[in-house]
Structure 1
């Protein structure tokens, strides 16, 4: 019983609990780093911190090495998918979870608890606000391939403007009788959907993606 009342063991249990709370949110949203990963990150950071204090080593140097190690994990979480970068929020969550574990490891329980609450607020409470902003204003990369005609691509740029979308021209190229245009288009989700329907029904469009 005395073993389980040991302060260091209690630190590990607290770290596992905080990591689980954060990991549950990531797991629920099917992220690459979920429940087990966040628990292990929190536990590992706490354990390294506890060991460094027991050995009397420079805790600042240990903390710097923990941050470096989390950087490698974060690099594996972030990846590129369909012209966009995903996993940044999960990588940042892993970074924050490691910091929470370090707080627990040196006995700053109140800071760890408050910070855990703030992390959960960011992940749970701010998500609907983020989604609302995305619905009202989002960026999409469009690539349209169609038969070459004079001012063909300019006609599509006029279509963007008519729908209230802000388009920035990208690379445009012609191969034989076809011409390809790319744009970074910004606007509401509703207007993007209208544009997609128009392009799907446009007989002049050979292919397009976004």
Structure 2
């Protein structure tokens, strides 16, 4: 691996495995309810988010500058144009757009909102797993499953 990566293969594997397990668990619930975005879709969104988060954290290691000891001067460092941690923010926007495609209307009935929301939250879980924020990601995944399974009654 390049020297900019400050994570070992086991850390990468754990992050990806957890994103597959918990994204898949939420996707299974959606699949059991015969929703369009099910098992595979949720796994791919969650794992993709984890990958983007790892790239955000570890992929630009040589560009992270401590502003307190080394202020960034664009005239001195012209190649440091953006904060690479913003990559994760683009996941939120992109997956929001993907989820919006799941929302359909038939007359006065709107459906697909829960599936769209689950895709969006699975992306957040993937970002947590990719960041190594495991407790938050696992807790969120468990809560999503509880919400999707228990609160499924329309009121």
TM-score (normalised: structure 2): 0.76
1:14 equivalent in structure 2: 18
**Could you tell me whether the CA contact under 8 Å between 1:49 and 1:59 is conserved in 2?**
no
What's the CA shift for 1:55? 2.1
Aligned residue pairs, count = 127
Q: Which of the two has higher C-alpha Rg?
A: 1
One of 124, 137, 142 as aligned partner of 1:117: 142
Unaligned runs of 5+ in 2: 1-7, 64-82
What's the CA shift for 1:5? 5.8
What's the CA shift for 1:59? 5.2
One of 30, 42, 60 as aligned partner of 1:26: 30
What's the CA shift for 1:94? 0.6
Unaligned runs of 5+ in 1: 135-210
**Could you tell me whether the CA contact under 8 Å between 2:56 and 2:85 is conserved in 1?**
no
2:112 equivalent in structure 1: 87
Higher relative contact order (CA 8 A, sep 6+): 2
- In 2, the alpha carbon distance for the partners of 1:60 and 1:74 equals 23
1:77 equivalent in structure 2: 102
**Could you tell me whether the CA contact under 8 Å between 1:23 and 1:35 is conserved in 2?**
yes
